[in-house]
Amino acid sequence: MAHVVSCPVAAYNNVTLVPRTSRARPPKTRIKERVSLEGRGKFSNRSMIKAVLSDVQQAQQLENGVASGRSSVPSGKSISTQESTRTSLHALITIRKKKRPDRNEQIVDQMDALADVLGQNVSLQLVSVEIDPVTKVGKRSKESFIKDWSLKALVVADKVQYTAEFEVEKDFGVPGAFIITNNHQNEFFLDTISLHGYESGAIHFPCSSWVHSVKDNPSSRVFFSNMVYLPSSTPAGLKDLREADMKSLRGDGRGMRKKWENVYDYDVYNDLGEGDKGPDLIRPILGKSTSHPYPRRCRTGRPPAKHDPSKESRVEGKQFPYVPRDECFEDVKQECYFNAAIRGLVHRSLPELRDHFFGSPEEFDSFEEIDQLYCEGVTLRKTGMVDTNDIIGMLATLPITSLLPDAIRAVVASVSSEEPNVLRYPKPQLLSRDKFAWLRDDEFGRQTLAGLNPCCIQLLKEFPPVSNLDPDIYGSPKSAIEEHHMADRLEGSSVSQALNDKRLFILDYHDAYLPYINRINSLDKRAGYASRTIFFLTEEGTLKPLVIELSLPPPNKSNRVFVPGDSATEHYLWKLAKAHVNCNDAGIHQLCSHWLRTHAATEPYVIATNRQLSVMHPVYRLLHPHFRYTLEINAGARQSLISAGGIIEKAFQPGPSAMEISSAYYASKWRFDREGLPEDLIDRGMAVEDQAAPHGLRLAIEDYPYAADGLLIWSALETWVGEYVSIYYKDPESIQTDKELQSWWEEIRYQGHADKKDEEWWPELKCEKDLKKILTIMMWISSGFHAAVNFGQFAYAGYMPNKPTHIRRLIPEPGTDEWNDFQKNPQQFMLSMLPGQLQSTILMAVIESLSTHSPDEEYIGQNVHPRWLGCPEAIKAFQRFQKTVAAIEQEIHRRNSNVELRNRNGAGILPYELLLPTSKPGITGRGIPNSISI
């Protein structure tokens, strides 16, 4: 828990002072002399600070009359015996300190503390909600300064409270904002300000923002109280500041953004390639193109690439792509992210280390060897052969040079310890429950409903399935699957009857992959198909896989059909076919369900919200918790995950075609109006409208854990949003005349998703119902949907055979040498088909990080947001939402205990916990954060 310090002078009685001469000089004179000596290097920085603090104490005591026996004047009281025309106000300013400032920042902080003594301070000015008749803007108080910054320069705490005093006229009115100027050399994080002295109580200003130094930008910052105002109801004294504050956040498409700036603007994905390093790393621009449409990202303004001025140069070395300053990770999140990076790099390096020291091959020799990564770890030490320094030296040759040597040494210290296997991976939940679950057909079907990617299964509406691709290019659109492939496994039904009874479902990745298969198969150690898989809904409510079709495009066009067989050969061929399907599922999951539909699609919402909605706007305050950290995590993904040669290209089947597949999915599938859970389920045939059913929907599969639990979360969000919107909007006119709101929605459509701006399906924003639906979709995607497709990654993909991310060999044809190899040793053939050691550990390291909850995570329905505190009605509505969320958690636990629900209960079956609202830090496979923060 953060430690807030409000520190009086007495708290410094134990400070060891620097010896001084006995000759008395005025405290302020001594302060100037010490600063002069500091400039000439006569004192250490810390000693100087201590000495100056003592002088500051004496100076303030003299000025307050303490030294001469006079009493100080209590805050908020008049010093005159007559009726005063002025009111004294007392401000408490809470500053959040950096946990680990670098050496330069520490030195500058100390110098800033000294500068404060000489009058170069942090200044504040109150702004009234009432107009000054002379200036025609909000009344301004006289400038005041934080008066105890120097006194608290040595305080060690997460948060420190400072004070400032104001005197305003009795008719000043209620302060609605304050203007702050940071004359320090360093920025600081302003958490909150509370203003005391009014009989009506304290006025609170939730800030949560970095305040830049005037040396970076001479402009001051403005912060508003926690009162909420629609544009039309903004107090006259705050209107100009409201407009100016929003204007300061809007980029104009020009200039290179600087680290300290809070500027939001749009750009296309023109920074994924690294063509300056070679033609193999050139990637197409995503966005501004009918061939590669995509959502917009946050603009950075970096210089153009040398090989192509239409593309942006990459960030090199230790630098990180620009994101607006207030979007950056806070200290706890940054530390968690950094530690995960260290662990990941060491884990990724294990095969190289083992190969370096012991000459191990890249291949896994057996499935038992894969299991040992979790159960036993990887032994890096052999007595008398390997020294810790040798390992550190080897690590230095790997791509981790930006890490601190001490951090590397700490991680690999276990090599010389009594326990040499500390570097093992945590055991995925699937492996903990049943290490053979991935082999079972029922588990294969169950995971389409309750696994890593539960949002792609759909009702089969016609048989045989038909492709929508151009037949002149890809041949006949008709599937090769025929009735006889599955007629004997339909529990007595015919195919037509099962189709009419809505008992046939399909996982269709044919059209998504087929245009890219030839490019994929031309890569080294990549071999894949487009796939279709048909399932049958059993009487027990589970999905039974019936048939798999694997297709190759021209010129080697083929459509191979696989079914579960009775013979050993058919049995193993079916396993190989399932591996290809799981590989395709892993790619669509990561590129489309996860990255595109949550991270990429949400980024324009974050940008537009900051550009077009004032922080005083009720919609801004509702959405703000749901956008925390999203821009920074997306910037990191562009830098190392989805970029040319990044983790996704290295570890996933599509390789360099990965983001093109994501773009194609956006072009053909993504629709804002179908991103809501009910609409998505109806569109896939997984539910139909039924007002007699819970939530107004009847599920096609009653035991569909993702849908059943998701509808609980969706319904709770919908109710909370509805109650919140109703507080501020009473009729359609109030929606239509809200200029900020209309500009916000227009910008999301026409700039944020510009490649889809002309689609007719965009919802209108004309009434309260429209706004409720739009907001609920955004909040669902950033919370419940992201949790469902993200935090199960280690549980299911952490064990590589269950969800291989790429395949290295096609299924052998009879009569070939590969067929003979397969016949002789089918298990070894499967191992040679699955990813090798290096690729497996690269992926496992990444998804371990992606599945980890940070200690500072903010979960849905847990905390009242400080920005809502100005509206009691909103707080009451949120408290009702909290109770609903708590009840949902109990209901999910009850469902997981129900033995009738076989997709979430049974021997070796993982309970469905991905939509449980709360979680502890770490890899838990549960918990719904408010925002897309990992």
Q: Which residues are catalytic?
A: 594, 599, 786, 790, 934
Enclosing H/E stretch for 391? helix 388-396
First to last CA, the chain: 22
Distance (Å, rounded) from C-alpha 613 to C-alpha 507? 41
The residue type at 743: S
Nearest to 749 by CA among 738, 765, 760, 762: 762
Distance (Å, rounded) from C-alpha 718 to C-alpha 784? 12
Token output for 729: 């909007």
**Residue 245 near residue 286, CB atoms below 8 Å:** no
Token output for 314: 């990459």
**Residue 104 near residue 149, CB atoms below 8 Å:** no
**Residue 865 near residue 625, CB atoms below 8 Å:** yes
Q: What is the layout of strands, in order, in the sheet containing 543-552? A: 458-459, 504-508, 530-537, 543-552, 558-562
- Length of the chain, in residues: 934
SS3 304: strand
Distance (Å, rounded) from C-alpha 79 to C-alpha 70? 13
Distance (Å, rounded) from C-alpha 932 to C-alpha 600? 10
Task: Give the CB-side neighbour count of residue 584, counting CA atoms within 13 A.
Answer: 28
DSSP state of 906: S
**Residue 149 near residue 122, CB atoms below 8 Å:** yes
Phi/psi for 930 (5° steps) reads -60, -35
- Distances in Å between the alpha carbon of 885 and those of 84, 635, 720, 806, 890? 52, 31, 11, 38, 9
Distance (Å, rounded) from C-alpha 691 to C-alpha 399? 57
Nearest to 95 by CA among 183, 164, 190: 190
Distance (Å, rounded) from C-alpha 403 to C-alpha 338? 9
Place of tokens 């324009």: 604
CB neighbour list of residue 587: distance below 8 Å, 6 or more residues apart:
513, 652, 653, 654, 658, 661, 805
Encode 204-241: b = buried (16+ Cβ within 10 Å), e = exposed.
Answer: bbbbbbbbbbbeeeeebbbbbbbbbbbbeebbebbebb
DSSP 877-890: HHHHHHHHHHHHHH
Place of tokens 């701006």: 757
CB neighbour list of residue 843: distance below 8 Å, 6 or more residues apart:
647, 651, 797, 800, 805, 835
Which is it for the CA torsion 816, 819, 825, 829, positive or negative? positive
